[in-house]
């Protein structure tokens, strides 16, 4: 499974976390993601575990995100949010930050494991059908990490100039099936 290293946005930082990595793979109609944090996990604000359910506003606290375009240069894309609590969200956009609507999607499988200096969130998303043979899926992978005082840090494979913006077209640099974002 290809690994992608996320880096903090230059305007934000998190003293508790020293490394964020995401393993990503497409296989048939399934996208598998495994987010791994290394650092002082007790120094993070993590939501309490709960039943897996769709929820909005997950990006306001610790959550892991993936944005998916089926073809390079396509205007439309999907956004997925996964919280350590088991809550999740899926949205469809018609263009950059335009035409947002809930995406019709079965609930993803979300599994959280953690220790004193590591946390892993594994996600499995099943699509209704395999991508078309000529599809060239691109992912933008990211994470929002919250510390107890409410300070947020924003992590991604790439950051455009200016404030954090995970939706930016330049973030779609990770290709499932190929490494990117530097060695893990």
Residues 137-154: pLDDT tens digits? Answer: 889 999 999 998 899 999
- Identify which has the larger pLDDT, 136 or 22: 22
Q: What CATH number does residue 99 fall under?
A: 2.60.40.1190
What is the pTM for the complete model shown? 0.91
Q: Is 182 a member of any domain?
A: no
Residues 66-98: pLDDT tens digits? Answer: 999 988 788 999 999 999 999 999 999 999 999
Q: Is 87 a member of any domain?
A: yes
Low-confidence winner among 10-14, 44-48, 107-111, 135-139 (lowest mean pLDDT): 135-139
Mean pLDDT of 30-45: 95
Residues 104-120: pLDDT tens digits? Answer: 889 999 999 999 999 99
Q: What's the chain's average pLDDT?
A: 89
**What is the strand order of the sheet 30-39 is part of?**
101-102, 88-93, 77-82, 63-69, 138-146, 152-156, 3-8, 17-27, 30-39, 118-126, 109-115
Q: Is 184 a member of any domain?
A: no
Domain range for 65 is 3-171
Q: Is 44 a member of any domain?
A: yes
Q: Is 178 a member of any domain?
A: no
């Amino acid at each position: 499974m290809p690994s992608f290293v996320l880096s903090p946005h230059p305007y934000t930082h998190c003293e508790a976390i020293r490394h964020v990595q995401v393993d990503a793979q497409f296989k048939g109609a399934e996208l598998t993601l495994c987010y791994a944090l290394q650092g002082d996990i007790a120094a993070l604000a993590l939501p309490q575990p709960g039943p897996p359910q769709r929820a909005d506003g997950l990006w306001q606290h610790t959550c892991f995100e993936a944005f998916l375009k089926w073809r390079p240069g396509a205007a439309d894309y999907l956004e997925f949010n996964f919280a350590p609590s088991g809550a999740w969200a899926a949205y469809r956009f018609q263009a950059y930050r335009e035409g947002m609507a809930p995406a019709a999607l079965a609930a993803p499988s979300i599994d959280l494991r953690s220790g004193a200096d590591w946390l892993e969130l594994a996600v499995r998303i099943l699509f209704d059908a395999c991508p078309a043979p000529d599809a060239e899926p691109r992912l933008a992978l990211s994470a929002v990490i919250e510390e107890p005082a409410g300070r947020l840090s924003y992590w991604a494979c790439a950051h455009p100039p200016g404030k954090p913006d995970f939706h930016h077209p330049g973030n779609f640099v990770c290709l499932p099936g190929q490494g990117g974002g530097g060695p893990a």
